[in-house]
Copies of this chain bind each other. A is one copy, B any other.
Amino acid sequence: MSVDSPPVWDERFCESLRELMRWRRDVRHFRPDPIPDETLTALVADASLAPSVGYSQPWRFVSVVDAARRAAVTANFERCNAAALNDYAGERRDDYAALKLAGLHEAPVHLAVFADTATTAGHNLGRKTAPETLLYSVVGAIVTMWLLARARGVGIGWVSILDHEQVSRDLAVPESWILCAYLCVGYPDEEHPVPELARAGWQAPLPESTTLYRR
């Protein structure tokens, strides 16, 4: 295959890709086995194949290795999760309390993903009317990494139940870096094609999410 001629992705590949997306999952149950450093480095490198507004490549990946910092983030989650529980009542509250929403204790890797809002890369192209696209670009890198990770047997769980500014302070990153996602990364303890929140009866698939509207 020459560098100029694109590969062909056949029906079999497309079916495998759909299966990958079906089995991707937000993982909260991890085995304690470590992730090899070269695997994590390769995932970060591959994430940068994602699209970005103006080719700004604003994602910054931070592996949180310091035990005190990991503990601070875990405590942050526990505070926020307790506060969130108070928003629910009755059966819904019991259901919420029974959910496992993060694998911060078990996951061998904590990966914080930031958007560098001060980057001059891309020269602001595409951001004037939609500055949020800088953050959206980081989400694209996360989803790209998530799929490649799963293909290699590595699970990822996105923890959003956090005081995001506190995480940034605890990790001592530059002030221009905005936290997009805090990820738990590790080998999953179980595999499912159905989202955990669907299996737990929290939320069923939504017909309007697969609808093509027309205007």
Contacts and interface: CB of A to CB of B under 8 A. Distances in A.
The binding surface of chain A is classed by DSSP as: mixed
Interface of A: 3, 5-7, 9, 13-14, 16-24, 26, 40-41, 44-46, 48-51, 53-66, 69, 80, 83-84, 87-88, 92, 96, 99, 101, 112, 116, 119, 121-130, 132-133, 135-136, 139-140, 142-144, 146-148, 150-152, 158, 160-164, 171-173, 180-181, 191, 193, 195, 197-198, 202-203, 205-206, 208-215
A59 B209 contact: yes
Contact of A158 (B14, B51, B191, B198): B51
6 contacts: A7-B23, A21-B46, A55-B197, A63-B212, A87-B128, A121-B209
Contacts of A80: 128-129
Contacts of A55: 195, 197-198, 202-203
Given A13-B13, A126-B161, A6 B191 contact: yes
Contacts of A99: 125
B49 A151 contact: no
Contacts of A126: 101, 160-161
Nearest to A215: B171
Q: Of residues A83, A128, A152, A215, which shows the largest number of chain B Cβ atoms within 10 Å of its Cβ?
A: A215
Q: Of residues A23, A152, A158, which shows the largest number of chain B Cβ atoms within 10 Å of its Cβ?
A: A158
Nearest to A46: B18
Q: Of residues A56, A136, A191, which shows the largest number of chain B Cβ atoms within 10 Å of its Cβ?
A: A136
A199 to B, nearest CB: 10
A135 B127 CA distance: 16
A146 B139 CA distance: 14
Contact of A17 (B45, B65, B151, B193): B151
Contacts of A215: 62-66, 69, 112, 171-173
Closest 6 CB pairs of A and B: A57-B209, A21-B49, A55-B197, A9-B151, A139-B139, A6-B191
